[in-house]
Amino acid sequence: MQIKSKKELAITLFKALSFYSLILALRIITGRFPYSTDDYDTTLQLLLALEGLAALLLVIFAIIIWIRADAIASVLLKNSDDNERADVVDIYVIAFSFIGLCLLCSIMSGIVDSIDHYYYWLRTGGMELAVASIRGSVSYLIVKLIAGLWLLFGSRRIVNVIMKLRRE
């Protein structure tokens, strides 16, 4: 398949993001099977419900991205012709936006992992380790959120800086 326009490239990447979101949802669901043999206390039931909700949100996100890929591509590529061929700058902008969306999508999985680690350390009696684990995880997720938003909304400015550096 040959990409004919930058809008077509963006649509293809958004559909790939949809698959990535489904893979993250499956990771959340399948990573929880070891808990099925544990006794189901109230905390564990709440944890499993939160993880189920996170997986459901990722599946809904995947469906929306798949169905609305054309509209999202139009928003990303505003002020451009639908059939205009992609140049290097456009490819960079689309790629950085795609990476930003991937980072934002993976935050949901990171939140579930953080809760899992906290719960594990809490159950093993290590309250100090639980607090340290959650601090590190939250810091990492905040950095990931900032980077994802920056790549998504600042991709054109990032590309402009890169292109200036390449010319000099």
Give 51-66 as a DSSP string.
HHHHHHHHHHHHHHHH
Residue 58 lies in a domain: yes
Nearest to 140 by CA among 122, 113, 121, 120: 113
139-161: per-residue pLDDT in tens?
888 999 999 999 988 888 888 88
One-letter amino acid for residue 66 of the chain? W
Residue 55 lies in a domain: yes
According to DSSP, residue 86 is labeled: P
Residue 1 lies in a domain: no
Residue 50 lies in a domain: yes
Tokens read off for 96: 């950085």
Residue 162 has pLDDT above 70, yes or no: yes
Residue 74 lies in a domain: yes
66-107: per-residue pLDDT in tens?
999 888 888 877 776 667 777 778 888 888 888 998 898 888
Residue 36 has pLDDT above 70, yes or no: no
What is the distance between the alpha carbons of residues 158 and 145, in angstroms, rounded to a whole number?
A: 17
Q: Which domain holds residue 47?
A: 6-167
Q: Are 111 and 142 in contact (CB under 8 A)?
A: no
Q: Are 61 and 48 in contact (CB under 8 A)?
A: no
Nearest to 86 by CA among 163, 12, 9: 9
Domain count, the chain: 1
